[in-house]
Amino acid sequence: MTPKQPFSLHYTGLIDKYRERLPIAPGVPAVSLGEGGTPLVKLHNLIQFLALEIDLYVKYEGANPTGSFKDRGMTVAVTQAVDEGSRAIICASTGNTSAAAAAYAARAGLTAFVIIPEGNIALGKLAQAMMHGAKVIQIKGNFDQGMALVKSLADAAPVTLVNSVNPFRLQGQKTIAFEVVEALGRAPDYHCLPVGNAGNITAHWIGYCEAAGVPGERTTAACAYCKGQCRFVSDRLTEKRPVLLGYQAEGAAPFLSNAFVDNPETVATAIRIGRPQSWESAWTASRESGGWFTGVSDEQILHAQKMLAEKEGIFCEPASAASIAGLLVDLEQGRLIPGSTVVCTVTGHGLKDPDTAISSSAKPMTVAAEEGAVKAIILDNIG
Ligand SMILES: *Cc1c(COP(=O)(O)O)cnc(C)c1O
């Protein structure tokens, strides 16, 4: 028999790993499904295919337990809710927040109420919320209307709001920056991500500021947003911070027009948001990092999604592909310094939205159940 290891290498989620950098007290048990620790995949084929003069990595958040980065925020928000004695949580969602809320509520033995826009949520996300036993409430309205509803409900009923206006959500989501810095040994030069409600771009900036240990940044809006909960521990993980590039779908692009959008429309339902809740802090993150926002069309999003799947084996949902699509637009316009190291957050798994994937792919070929028929197809298609 081998002797017992003095410690376990078994990964048990981001609260256990980063507790000293999170506003969760030492003795409080984590409500965890093993989230975080997602792959940082270096792209080779796409770089060659498009002749890009950068090093490009994707942080594949589809590998989280419910298939999106929302799990990072939800483990901290639900752990805190349980510690405060809450018995129910509520959120408005374009889909992934409800999937994560439903799963973490199940894990914690809480009731989850999720409010979703009728007809505008991807099939996989709806299946998740239903399967985990959440009380699913569809509204005849969009996400922004759902958000206004849950904000007033959280004051009127005994439920904890777990949208990203809950500061514990962003505290969990900031850990993505720590993981990228650990994997690369430093911060990338640019970090690209899709922007909807803008909580995640805010969380990325909080994480990079903390990793770089920039105490002055504590007074900025990005950090004021986390209500003094930022933890600047003494060990500095990186010297510099990346430029943050935020990408929006053209039909839902309030950061491009610098004005809220009343009827946002895009195939990328996860970023179909016209009134981002983290409006000010996202502007601060963008400005302080020296970054900018760029818009992409639905066509560019679907094209990028397809390329990433076909050339690299990475299947993400449409909203996630906005980070690649936007980067390609910015590269085309020569806005990045050649030779840079770039990370794109690929926010959610492609299986979330099978309908969009099937409608943008070639149909299966149907033939007789005969060797000759199948062989003919092989010979026709072999590269
Ligand atoms: C929530 C979500 C986004 C947008 O993140 P925000 O914090 O709302 O800006 C992007 N992609 C996916 C897959 C999401 O679930």
Mutate to test the pocket of ligand 1, among 71, 171, 197, 206 (most ligand atoms within 8 A of CB): 197
**CB of 61 closer than 6 angstroms to any ligand 1 atom:** no
pLDDT value of residue 233: 53
Average pLDDT over residues 165-190: 96
Interval between CA 273 and ligand 1 midpoint (Å): 10
Instruction: State if pTM tops 0.85.
Output: yes
- Testing ligand 1's pocket by substitution, the residue of 165, 347, 353, 356 carrying the most ligand atoms inside 8 A of its CB is 347
**Cβ of 347 less than 6 Å from ligand 1:** yes
Does the pLDDT value for residue 91 go beyond 90? yes
Ligand 1 centroid to Cα of residue 55, in Å, is 24
CA-based nearest residue to 144, from 303, 319, 274:
274
pLDDT of residue 236: 77
pLDDT-derived band at 327, boundaries 50, 70, 90: very high
Distances in Å between the Cα of 128 and the Cα atoms of 13, 122, 139, 173 are 20, 10, 18, 21
Residue 281 Cβ inside 6 Å of ligand 1? The answer reads no
Query: Which has the higher per-residue pLDDT, 374 or 214?
Result: 374
What local confidence, expressed as pLDDT, does residue 231 receive? 53
Starting at the edge strand found earlier in the chain, the sheet holding 292-296 runs 40-42, 55-60, 341-346, 190-194, 243-249, 292-296
The pLDDT of 267-294, averaged and rounded, is 96
Task: Assess whether pLDDT exceeds 50 at residue 219.
Answer: no
